[in-house]
Amino acid sequence: MDIVKGSEDMKRRLEKPIAVFFLLTFLILGSCFFACAEENSDSNDEIIDRLYHDAGADELIYHIPEGSRNFLEKIKFDDFRPEGSDKITPDSFFGGIIYVIKENITEPLRVLFCITGIVLLSAMFETLKTSSLSGSLNSTLSVVSALCMAAVIMPPMLSLIETLTQTIVNSSDFMMIYIPVITVLIMTSGQPVSGTMYYGVMIYISNAILQIASKIIIPLLKCIISMSVVTSVSEKVSLGGPVNLFKKTIKWILTFCMSLFVAFMTMKSIVSVSEDSLSNKAVKFAISNFVPLVGGALSDAYQTVVSCVSVLKSGVGVAAMFAVFAIFLPAVLKCMMWQFVISAGVSVSDIFGIGKASSLLSSLGAVISTISAMLLCTMVIYIISTAIIIIVGG
């Protein structure tokens, strides 16, 4: 029932881009006809600028989250025009990355100092095992140190999962706005089959990623965190095996799904482009041979407009890839910083022989690794899908 409902919803969403495509095609051909009749056609820049506003590309920048927009401002990216990405330089790009790191590095460093302090205190109390009080303090100190470690590291872990959720939601919301815009441009550039294919596939993929992340991945991550804490406190329970199995399974599934998606998208794009090329030639032939008097001029004008739309489509697509990268960048950098903190904590725990703390941190490291894999796979799917439709479509 949900699949049927989703299919009907997808068809309703597809009606708008198709209608807009035919409307824009009619208006473009009409404007080209009158422009040829009056021998006063617009320049290519004016055509691109008008299509940029008519397709709604000028509104895309306002649907990017504020934190991501700050990064885009740092790298001198301010709109989705074809020339918008020309301002980006290596210095501004890496400067923007450093800015994001500075904004998020304070809490990981604070937690790292706390973890180190807990490990040192635990190591100091471990020396009491040689005294007469070792029997009564042994289990108590182990539980207390594990609980202290969990109290320090649990809030950041839950915050990181919340960051994953919010990033997936933000990227999905942006794609829901971007997909109809780029679909209109793809269709108007003489590729109605490719536009329809891209719209249907990407709408489905965006919804699927959001549902899988919110209803499957995130609840499982929270369960893994809870099991890790239980393992660190209890002497008789060891859940390291299931945690590692979960981590490896998720990574293999994500890798397989991403590879399958890229292969499917590439093959569908190649077939769609061939069909679009045939239909585009048929349109130009019909205009040139069946329109009296001005057929040849109108065919040339049509080709000019299609070329302008292709330039705009490529520019908006590249800008969208930068926008998607900016949406995922803060979350990915957070995961990298927390992964460093966890790895450093494991190293310190192993040096002083605090096994419980090392086990807890290792399990949480697996959680962060899974979050990173989810973020990177989603980002790559969105970026590669746009790159494929631009490169293959021309």
- Token pair in block for residue 216: 């499957």
User: How far is residue 160's CA from residue 64's CA, in Å, rounded to a whole number?
Assistant: 20
Contacts of 54 (CB under 8 A, 6+ apart): 24
HEC string of the chain? CHHHHHHHHHHHHHHHHHHHHHHHHHHHHHHHHHHHHHCCCCCHHHHHHHHHHHCCHHHHHHHCCHHHHHHHHHCCCCCCCCCHHHHCCHHHHHHHHHHHHHHHCHHHHHHHHHHHHHHHHHHHHHHHHHCCCHHHHHHHHHHHHHHHHHHHHHHHHHHHHHHHHHHHHHHHHHHHHHHHHHHHHHHHCCCHHHHHHHHHHHHHHHHHHHHHHHHHHHHHHHHHHHHHHHHHHCCCCCCHHHHHHHHHHHHHHHHHHHHHHHHHHHHHHHHHHHHHHHHHHHHHHHHHHHCCCCHHHHHHHHHHHHHHHHHHHHHHHHHHHHHHHHHHHHHHHHHHHHHHHHHHHHHHHHHHCCHHHHHHHHHHHHHHHHHHHHHHHHHHHHHHHHHHHHHHHC
Angle subtended by helix axes 106-126 and 90-104, to nearest 10: 50
Q: What is the pLDDT of residues 171-217, one digit of tens each?
A: 888 988 898 888 888 887 777 777 788 888 888 888 888 888 888 88
Which of 58, 57, 56, 48 lies closest to 28 in space, CA to CA? 48
Compute the residue count for the chain: 394
Dihedral (C-alpha) 220, 221, 224, 225: value to the nearest 10 degrees?
Answer: -140
Question: Tens place of pLDDT for every residue, the chain, 394 residues?
Answer: 443 344 455 445 444 444 444 444 544 444 444 444 343 344 667 777 777 787 777 788 888 888 788 888 888 887 787 776 777 888 888 888 888 888 888 888 998 898 888 888 877 776 665 555 555 566 677 677 778 888 888 888 888 888 888 899 898 889 888 988 888 888 877 777 777 888 888 888 888 888 888 888 888 888 888 777 777 776 666 666 777 777 777 778 878 888 888 888 888 777 777 776 666 666 665 666 655 555 566 666 666 777 777 778 888 888 888 899 999 999 999 999 999 999 898 888 888 777 777 878 888 888 888 888 889 888 988 988 888 888 776 5
Burial of 85 per CB tally in 10 Å (0-12, 13-18, 19+): middle
Q: Are 111 and 158 in contact (CB under 8 A)?
A: no
Q: What is the pLDDT of residues 52-108, one digit of tens each?
A: 787 777 788 888 888 788 888 888 887 787 776 777 888 888 888 888 888 888 888
Burial of 369 per CB tally in 10 Å (0-12, 13-18, 19+): middle
> What's the sign of the alpha-carbon dihedral 113, 116, 122, 125?
negative
Burial of 122 per CB tally in 10 Å (0-12, 13-18, 19+): buried
User: How far is residue 53's CA from residue 308's CA, in Å, rounded to a whole number?
Assistant: 14
Radius of gyration for the alpha carbons in the chain, expressed in angstroms and rounded: 28
Dihedral (C-alpha) 292, 293, 294, 297: value to the nearest 10 degrees?
Answer: 120
Amino acid making up residue 258: M
